[in-house]
Amino acid sequence: MNTTGSNVPVVATSDVVVVGGGPAGVSAAVSAARNGCSVTLLERYHHLGGMASGGMVLVLDDMVNGQEITISGIVDEFVQRMEKEGMAVTPPLEDRYASEEMYRKWARWGVHDFHQAKKPQPIVYATAFDPDAWKRTSLDLIRENNVNLRLHSWFSEAIVEDGVIKGVVCQTKLGRQAIMGGVVIDTSGDLDVACGSGAEFTQGQYIVTTVFRLANVDTVEAERFEYEEPEAFAKVNREARRIIGGAWEMWWLKTPIPGIVWCNCPHMPGYDGISVEDLTAAEYEGRERMMGLFHYVREHLPGFENASMLGAAEQVGVRTTRMLKGEYVVTKDDIVNRRYFADTVCRGRDYYTPYRALLPKKVEQLIVAGRHYSAEPDAQKRSREIPPCMVQGEAAGVAASLALQENIHIRDVDYRSIQKAMRAQGADPGDVPSENATGVDDLAESA
């Protein structure tokens, strides 16, 4: 067997190596494979999906700009496949507008536009799904596209020669294993590979959350209480949120399985999502808080009398840790003002992501996608939802294939070729600005 210079056995070699099998990583791997590359996907855990399955984050947000659907591509395939199994719920087109009736019908699915302050918030194109269906769909897509999947492989070291990444080393039960590739895509969420390769980064931190699910909830009764006894509901809900100590107002949401709800709480500040000590402490604190809430709602919240604790997510919910300081750092103003960039290769809701925000400044043949992309913390906070991370992954996969086909460095790939290839495979690269985009005139003037 081949070994690296430091005697680590090389267990796989492929055109593209993707590190991290979350929403961004699976999209990147599938996209690169569909564009003709051999691909190895590495994942530390026993499942694919990252926060969307192990973290039990169960709503695809941020897919529209007003009435316009702005997210498409591999994310659509997830929605369609899970819907076929009855494991995803999306409001139909005719229900997507603002009214008390629609809000009451849909808000507990988490599919309203929570960026709008005015109530009732409109119902939008967003999808609630089941975490195991997400895992199955990820596995199916990976197998169908002949991606070489290696689970239980924890990235530990980047192999970089003369400023070019050549592969990665993973820690496994059988010791260290090397996987070599022409392009490496870092989709670890915590920037593990880029950081290990010497790329510049910033350290971010935000609340972490031990998401959990409850079973045997009578959601009809719970919603009746909420809307027909608003004052009593407000009192109980306030106390529930005080007990859990950190929760959005809508702390429970429905899932496609009747009677099972997911609870996006407790939110816990002060934890570093890459520190062993902090992540361990968060497991204790999260469980204590969720059990406090559980006992309270069984006693006091109509509809929850017979609830059972289904358990916490496999992974603590981490939103932000290390973030790339890449060729361009997306700012809060860029997001809030919907700034358009000529080299936009992916988009979320109403904002645009330039290709440069996926590229590290120095290391060659490395690209990133997902929540650790190059953005200020305040910009990432508004742009880290699952769908935009998936479109970033899809664009990174396309870029990797173009770099290898043209035998050039990935940073030199023409963004117009990425946009064209994205459109050809059904994804919206954001190259055509929506009416409410800004910065389009500036670009025209400088052209």
- Residues at the contact surface with ligand FAD, assessed by CB under 6 A: 19-25, 42-45, 50-52, 55, 57, 59-61, 154-155, 187-190, 192, 209, 211, 264, 317-319, 370-371, 384-386, 389
By beta-carbon proximity to ligand FAD, the closer residue of 77 and 305 is 77
What does the alpha-carbon distance between residue 176 and residue 308 come to, in Å, rounded to a whole number? 42
Asked if residues 353 and 345 have their Cβ atoms less than 8 Å apart, the reply is: yes
By beta-carbon proximity to ligand FAD, the closer residue of 109 and 225 is 109
By beta-carbon proximity to ligand FAD, the closer residue of 225 and 385 is 385
What are the helix (H) ranges across 163-319?
Answer: 192-196, 219-228, 230-244, 276-300
Closest distance to ligand FAD from the beta carbon of 104 (Å) = 20
Q: DSSP per residue over 390-406, as a string?
A: HHHHHHHHHHHHHHHHH
Closest distance to ligand FAD from the beta carbon of 38 (Å) = 19
By beta-carbon proximity to ligand FAD, the closer residue of 127 and 401 is 127
Count of C-beta atoms within a 10 Å radius of residue 13: 16
Three-class DSSP category at 359: coil
By beta-carbon proximity to ligand FAD, the closer residue of 181 and 370 is 370
Closest distance to ligand FAD from the beta carbon of 260 (Å) = 16
Task: Kindly give, in sequence order, each residue whose CB lies less than 8 Å from that of residue 38, ignoring residues fewer than 6 positions away.
Answer: 14, 15, 16, 146, 148
By beta-carbon proximity to ligand FAD, the closer residue of 90 and 264 is 264
Residue 341 corresponds to which tokens in the numbers above?
């960039």
Closest distance to ligand FAD from the beta carbon of 155 (Å) = 3
- Radius of gyration from C-alpha coordinates of the chain: 22
By beta-carbon proximity to ligand FAD, the closer residue of 194 and 307 is 194
Closest distance to ligand FAD from the beta carbon of 414 (Å) = 25
Position closest to ligand FAD via CB: 22
Closest distance to ligand FAD from the beta carbon of 275 (Å) = 14
By beta-carbon proximity to ligand FAD, the closer residue of 339 and 384 is 384
By beta-carbon proximity to ligand FAD, the closer residue of 26 and 422 is 26
User: What interhelical angle do 131-144 and 23-34 show, nearest 10?
Assistant: 20
Q: DSSP per residue over 14-62, as a string?
A: EEEEEE--SHHHHHHHHHHHHTT--EEEE-SSSSS-GGGTTT---EE--
Asked if residues 291 and 301 have their Cβ atoms less than 8 Å apart, the reply is: no
- Determine what percent of the chain falls in helix, strand and coil, rounding each to the nearest 5: 35, 25, 40
Closest distance to ligand FAD from the beta carbon of 134 (Å) = 10
Closest distance to ligand FAD from the beta carbon of 99 (Å) = 23
Closest distance to ligand FAD from the beta carbon of 373 (Å) = 8
Q: DSSP per residue over 109-154, as a string?
A: GT-B-TT--SSSPPB-S-EEE-HHHHHHHHHHHHHHTT-EEE-S-E
Closest CA to 15 of 368, 411, 405: 405
Q: DSSP per residue over 63-90, as a string?
A: -EETTEE---SHHHHHHHHHHHTT-EE-
What does the alpha-carbon distance between residue 50 and residue 192 come to, in Å, rounded to a whole number? 14
